Structure 1
Amino acid sequence: MKHFKNRIQTPTETETIQLESGDIELKIAQIGEHLSHTEDLKIHKLVFNNQSCALLYVESLVKAEFIQSNIIKPLLETNSGVVEQIVTSIEITKSSDVLQIGKLLMNGFCMMVIENDSAAIMMLAALSQGRSIEEPKGEQIIQGSHEGFIESLSTNIYLLRNRIKSPKLKVKYFTLGNVTNTKVAMIYMDNIAAPTIVEECEKRIKTIDLDYLYSVGTINEMIEEHPFSPFPQSIQTERPDRAVSYLMEGKINILVDGSPSVLVLPITFFAFYQSPDDYNNRWTTGSFFRLIRLISFILAISLPAIYIATVSYNSEVLPIGILYSVKVSLTYVPLPPILEAIVMQIILELLKEAAIRLPSPIAQTIGIVGGLVIGTAVVEAHLVSHTMIVVIGLTAIASFVTPLNELGTSLRILGFPTMLAASLFGFFGISIVMMIIFIHLCKIETLGIPYFEPFGPYYGKEGVKDIFLRLPIWRFNKVPQNAEPGHSKQSFFVRWKRS
């Protein structure tokens, strides 16, 4: 928390600039000056109630047909009366603050100024543009929902409310970014989420002082407690079903307008190894694949290090047949095992980055060329042994098994100090590094929640449900203790018991 407090400053209050109350041209000039005389600021003059009026809007942010049919046409046909009762808009408000008016214009409002009136009438006429709802490419599943969040904040909130039709689903709005004025939503279940966690999260969001905000990753970096930890302390997901499941566990969702990702916190380590597929299949199938994922955690960190320690210090642990094959493959390799592993890991990361940045057809070609041609070439050139190719390949597969990409990347990074320790101290070095990693996992917290729970601290047999095994739904009788509530939780799991 010390780092968090020193890093974030309290935002300063902005001054108030009042709209001119005299001639309408002065009002138009004042708004034009505030918006830097942008050429997409459109002005439509008319007479209403025998007074000169003007409609101002940023044409790139509003729906012109809506303004014509719901605002201009009714005003011209009626020509007198109360503006708020004549025009049709979802949201109508009044303001005389130029700074507030500028923010509303940038959010798709249409402004109506009337001569000798100090307040402007603001009417929502925002243009809604966005891609269709489709499954996120980075979080695809075999069975279950294939919907994904998009860049529209209102659409994303709809996807959550459509799944949780409860009055206890609470939404709080914030505006972050002194320049961008980005709308942010914090969503949680009022009867499930711990009040202390909600208050702490809200306090941290309010203390963020940035000039621009364009993604939830920026918020995550500003509010996380351990920025130097290699382990991600929140989950970014584009799946509504995953976000809803976390809401029902007492966690908080943070959405940013313009970003398709939802930030979920507080989060624990084992949440990264849970997939929606676990709950869409039978519990035996879900448990089997979850165990596979948890085993991949150890393999991704330690498999190259185990190979290095074995061939460098403890070759006697291998059967004679395997030992002979390994030694033969190392006969003409000039590099020590540690350099072999580091070079191959770096090449793997280069191939992965190239495949991500390139279009799909080219990316597939890069994968084939990297996996077959380059791999075969370095072995034939005696730069790397056959065994090292197999080890690095298995390590890469183990890191990609993680349902969420953030943790997989962290595991590949942690493999480098593990390999270095193995090259210096053998299996003893691997043990020391793994001990440090698990001590670190037990030490860190997210919003006051232990990151490695339910093992650090240990919560008993009730706490370990749905961790290593995905037990049958009817075995759950209360919500997992990921967020300790201020009052008793009501379970979202099925409560019936088999006869």
Structure 2
Amino acid sequence: MLLLESMIDKLKSTFYNSVDFTAKEISWPNEEYAILCYYSSMVNKSDVQNQINVLKVQASVDEEKWTETMAAVKEPFQMEKFVDYICHGETIILLLTEKQMVHLTLPEIPHRSPDEPINEHILRGSHEGFVENVDVNIGLIRKRIRMPNLVVNKMEVGKETKTDVYYMYLDNVANQQSVSEVESKLKLMQEKTKSLYTAGEVGDYLEESVYSPFPQMLNTERPDRVFANLVEGKIAVFTNISPTVLLGPVTFFSFYQSPDDYNGRVLVGSFYRMVRVFSFLTAVFLPAFYIAIVSFHFEILPIELSKKLRLDISEIPYRPIIEAMILEIIIELIREASVRLPQAIVQTIGIVGGLVIGNVIVTAGLVSNMMVIIVALTAISSYVVPSVEMNMSIRILRFPFMLAAALAGFFGIVIGGFVLFIHLLNLHSLKSPYFSPIVPFEPKKIKQIFVRGPFVKPSPQTSSFDPEGRKK
């Protein structure tokens, strides 16, 4: 009895006497001392009790092979393994006399229902979304890809948190060089990382240019989007603590495709795809274009419009770049407040922000009417992008272009455009060209940037991997 009590005390101290850790004596056939251990917060107590009752009956019938017929594994007791099993939500039965332990896989980890992600709504198609449970997430993919060549591998990352990182791909489609690149970067992360909290930390290791404004991995919480990208030959990387899935290799134009493109008619899907690509130019260059005109190039405007703009701008006490910065910062403040505040208050913030920007700030003479229109069009254009990460990148990019336009007019915009283009050419996603199919130039695939082809004439979608690298 003294051995039993000391062992229970030792186990509880190992888990720092946490209130949700259970270690208690139970009766067991042909065993003098047995201890049941589990985290009550990670299992269903009734399921554990039912399973133990079944195991007791089986053990009393067959003393040697009772674990071979049940969902239980018997092995020699090792404290390190014991702690690892408990932390993963398993139930352990310690047989002290035999110095054995039996672990049952009965975890019940809390998670949401797979509802549609709030930041990736679509009009038609599947309305399922990933959750914070890896088994549910893998099941949502396997429900769509019923093939044995869907490979799912796992690495444990974080010496302290021991977070599971998974990567998934179709073996007969994915570029093996990209798969090797993912594996090598995850191994590097495994060696260097102590704690892993978010999918964004995984993305930092997978991306080659972390300081670039452009994301080199596509983030999504939609199973249908992951399914479409896996079929194209991409690799999905995700963790057991986040619903976010990272997809790569991707191109710049991958961020402008939406599941709605393929759920609607061909002409409609193609039209809105072209609108999204055009929105990039509007969101990045429109404020800079306006600043360049009113600062240096009034002569390109019609005389009537030029007179009206000069009249409005003459009442503003500072240069157009300051005017644009004030409005852009106010828009960003409203957007950030709308994200952080409770849903019931968001509409109020939108109304107040609209009144301040649309009426009061113009009446006060702080900004012109035309600048309000330009900034509003810019904000709307940036929100057209289906990807949240690319949306943020576009909003950041407009500021250096506005500054270049204020300093050198159209010449500054052209120089900035060349720098942006060169940067895009030098970017890679898992060693694949980021600006494909523009560079390297592939004429047959360029039309797929703007046009969604009909399924009666199927053709491979624009991708960032080399088709020659596929396994035959």
TM-score range, shorter chain: over 0.9
Could you tell which deviates more after superposition, 92-101 or 250-259? Answer: 92-101
Q: 1:485 to 1:172 in 2, by over 3 A?
A: farther
Distance in 2, matches of 1:399 and 1:35, equals 49
Name the structure 2 match of 1:250.
233
The residue identity in structure 1 corresponding to 2:36 is: L
Contact kept, 8 Å, 1:89 with 1:124, in 2: the verdict is: no
Letter of the structure 1 residue corresponding to residue 458 of structure 2: F
Q: Which moved more, 1:398-407 or 1:109-118?
A: 109-118
For 1:142, give the aligned amino acid. Answer: L
- In 2, distance between residues paired with 1:207 and 1:93? 34
Contact 1:278-1:287 within 8 A present in 2 as well: yes
The CA RMSD measured in Å over matched residues stands at 2.1
Q: Return the match for 1:321 from 304, 308, 317.
A: 304
Task: Give the counterpart of 2:380 among 386, 397, 403.
Answer: 397
- Counterpart pick for 2:30 among 28, 35, 49: 49
Cα distance, 1:489 vs. partner? 6.5
The one-letter code sitting in structure 1 at the alignment partner of 2:456 is W
Unaligned runs of 5+ in 2: none
Which residue does 2:211 correspond to in 1?
228
Q: Distance in 2 between matches of 1:236 and 1:83?
A: 50
Assess if the C-alpha contact under 8 Å between 1:24 and 1:113 holds in 2: no
1:37 aligns to 2:17 (yes or no): yes
- Partner residue in 1 for 2:139: 158
Equivalent position of 1:439 in the other structure: 422
Mapped contact 1:179–1:212 kept (Cα < 8 A): yes
Corresponding residue for residue 449 of structure 1: 432
Q: Is the 8 Å Cα contact of residues 479 and 489 (structure 1) preserved in structure 2?
A: no
Relative to structure 1, the CA distance from residue 330 to residue 250 in structure 2 (aligned partners, 3 Å threshold; closer, same or farther) is same
Q: Percent identity?
A: 39
1:347-402 Cα deviation digits (max 9, x unpaired): 11000000111112211111111012343111000000000000000000010010
1:375 aligns with 2:358: yes
Q: Answer yes or no: is the 8 Å Cα contact 2:175–2:471 preserved in 1.
A: no
Q: Deviations over 1:46-78 (max 9, x none)?
A: 233143111111111111011110114541685
> Whole-Å Cα distance in 2 between the matches of residues 84 and 327 of structure 1?
92
Cα distance between partner residues in 1 of 2:220 and 2:42: 28
Which structure 2 residues correspond to residues 131-142 of structure 1 after superposition, within 5 A? Answer: 131-142=112-123
For residues 108-144 of structure 1, the C-alpha deviation after alignment (integer angstroms, 9 at most, x for no partner) is: 1111111233332211121142221211111101111
8 A Cα contact 1:253 1:265, kept in partner: yes
Deviations 1:390-429 (A, max 9, x none): 0000000010010111111111111111011101100000
| Aligned match of 1:16 | none
Do structure 1's residue 187 and structure 2's residue 171 form an aligned pair? Answer: no
Give the length in aligned residue pairs.
468
Relative distance call for 1:421 and 1:479 in structure 2 (3 A) is closer
Q: Aligned pair in 2 of structure 1 residues 147, 88: CA closer, same or farther (>3 Å)? A: farther
Query: What CA distance in whole angstroms lies between the structure 2 residues aligned with 1:194 and 1:344?
Result: 46
Partner of residue 98, structure 1:
79
With 393-402 and 110-119 compared, the bigger mean Cα shift is at: 110-119
Secondary structure of the equivalent of 2:91? strand
2:465 is aligned with 1:483: yes
Structure 1 residues 268, 90: closer, same or farther in 2, change over 3 A? farther
Asked if 2 retains the 8 angstrom alpha-carbon contact of 1:465 and 1:471, the reply is no
Q: CA deviation at 1:218?
A: 1.2
What's the offset of the Cα at 1:34? 2.6
1:60 aligns with: 41
Partners of 1:345 and 1:403 lie apart in 2 by 21
Q: What runs of 5+ residues in structure 1 fail to find an aligned partner?
A: 1-21, 491-499
Contact 1:305 1:422 in 2 (8 A): yes
Q: Distance in 1 between matches of 2:251 and 2:64?
A: 53
Instruction: Specify the SS of the correspondent of 2:443.
Output: coil
Query: How has the CA–CA distance of structure 1 residues 186 and 128 changed in structure 2, closer, same or farther, with 3 Å as cutoff?
Result: same
- State the 1:31 CA deviation: 3.1
Partner SS, residue 207 of structure 1 = helix
Query: How far apart are residue 100 of structure 1 and its match?
Result: 2.4
Kept after mapping to 2: 8 A contact 1:243/1:253: yes
TM-score by length of 1: 0.89
Amino acid at match of 1:55: L
Contact map agreement 2:37 2:93 (CA 8 A) in 1: yes
Query: Aligned pair in 2 of structure 1 residues 443, 369: CA closer, same or farther (>3 Å)?
Result: same
Kept in 1, the 8 Å contact 2:401–2:413? The answer is yes
- Within the candidate set 164, 167, 171, 2:148 is matched to 167
Q: 2-side partners of 1:174 and 1:427: how far apart?
A: 51
Provide the C-alpha distance between the structure 2 equivalents of 1:91 and 1:164, rounded to a whole number of angstroms: 30
Q: Tell me if structure 2 keeps the 8 A contact 1:224–1:233.
A: yes
